[in-house]
Structures are given as C-alpha cells and as structure tokens.
Structure 1
C-alpha cells in the first residue's frame, strides 16, 4: 500500500515523477491536484496586520479581537452566508477557513486587510521583517 505522496510541479522532472506515482498506484486510489497553499511569509504577516486593526479600529462601538477580525475579513472576502445558531440566540457565519486558502486567495485576504486599514486610518506596524504577501 502506498503512503500519501505529494509532488510539487516546478519543472518537467517533477511532472514525470507525479505521472510515475499515478502509474504505480493501485486501482481505486485518488489523485488530487490543487493550487499551492499559503506561504509561511503570508501566514506570518496575517497576525501582525490583524493586531494593528484590532488595536486601532472600533467596529460599531466595539473593540474586537484579532480572531474576530479574521472572521470579518474572511467573511467579506468569501461572501459568506449567515445562519441562526442551534438555540436561536445568535448567528453563525458559514464559509472558508484561512487554513484551507491557497496562495492566491490568501493574497487577496492580505490585500483586503490593507485596503480596509487604509480606509480606516490604520497605522501599520513595521512588518518588513515578517515577509510579504
């Protein structure tokens, strides 16, 4: 039985390796091709940006946590749906988790945060040493 294997396609030899894995796989195995996941630099940039927003922006009279802002930005980016919770006392946003975002979508999230911050007067901390989107 084969282990789970991943081939990152950078050049022709990587594609040949992936094709070889497919040829060697038993019937019934599954092949999935996905875009690259977010980078370490992107991930390292997210939390300082959310911290800057949470410290400087009051949202409808409330100071929100980094995690709350992450949910707000993710919901805005993905145009999420909202449903009542199980006891009817509140609501739950349905949609995409940042951990499942690819590089492109995560870059869009970072850009959305920068754009929001610009409109709301956020002064960004120095995060040059944390990488870039």
Structure 2
C-alpha cells in the first residue's frame, strides 16, 4: 500500500506497478476514517443511547450505529432467516474520511433535534456550519 502524499511515494507506487506480474490488481481509493473520527463516534453514540428513546425503545450504541449508517447510506433491509429484518452492508471501518464526517454530522443534527447534551465539545467547524445554515 502506498499513501500518495509526496513524489517519492508516487515513484514507489509506479515502480511496484511496473514490476507486478500480469493479472495483479491495483486499487486507488480515498483514505478510510481516521482514528480521531472513530474515537469521536463512540462517545456520541453513547450520548444518544443514554438520552434518546427510539419508537419507545432504548437502543445500544451498536444499534444506534446501525440506525445512523443505514440512514446515511440509504441501505436496504431484508427479511432475516428466522424472522425480523437485517440491514445490509453497514460497516464504518471501510468508510472514507468524507463519508465518516457526514455520519458524524448526521448524528449531531439528530441529537440537536432531540436536545442531546454532548459529553464532548461539538467541533467548531460544525457549529460554524450550523450558524451559516440558520
């Protein structure tokens, strides 16, 4: 894997491509979420889990993560093998930085509508965006 951050990394990637056997695959993709983004997610989900009832039920942090990622990605739900439903494809570990930032914004917006008190400060960039939108 090469992070294309400078000329030397690009040269290394080019060298690896030229030396690769036929049939090998090269994938260029956006970097995945940062550790800081992931560390921000779980306290937010915990705050929502403690303070919000969803259709008469308290949900766990993992259940809230499923609710938010399904909303963000407009995912589909299919019938489960033994009843109930399963939401398909809801991994945050493979999300790019931009999509993960959208997930965090979605959770903040949801929390603002329900007067969630955040245990960690709201980032300045998000409060500025909210002020511009108002």
TM superposition score normalised by structure 1 = 0.88
* Alignment map for 1:88-103 (pairs within 5 Å): 89-103=83-97
Q: Give the corresponding residue for 2:132.
A: none
Are positions 1:82 and 2:82 aligned together?
A: no
User: Which structure carries more relative contact order (alpha carbon 8 Å, separation 6+)?
Assistant: 1
What is the RMSD computed on CA atoms of the aligned residues?
1.6
After superposition, the C-alpha distances for 1:52-100 in whole angstroms (9 at most, x for unaligned) are: 000000111111100000000000000010111113x211111231111
Q: Aligned partners of 2:87 and 2:43: how far apart in 1? A: 24
Are positions 1:52 and 2:47 aligned together?
A: yes
Q: Give the corresponding residue for 1:122.
A: 116
Partner secondary structure for residue 100 of structure 1:
coil
| Displacement after TM superposition at 1:35 (Å) | 0.5
Q: Aligned partners of 1:64 and 1:96: how far apart in 2? A: 17
Q: Aligned partners of 1:50 and 1:85: how far apart in 2? A: 25
Instruction: Figure out how many residues of one structure are paired with residues of the other and give that number.
Output: 124
Are positions 1:34 and 2:55 aligned together?
A: no
Unaligned runs of 5+ in 1: 1-5
TM superposition score normalised by structure 2 = 0.87
**Which one of 102, 109, 122 corresponds to residue 108 of structure 1?**
102
Superposed structure 1 runs of 4+ greater than 2 Å apart: none
Unaligned runs of 5+ in 2: 127-134
Q: Give the corresponding residue for 1:3.
A: none
Are positions 1:61 and 2:56 aligned together?
A: yes
Contact 1:74 1:96 survives alignment (8 Å): yes
Contact 2:76 2:87 survives alignment (8 Å): yes
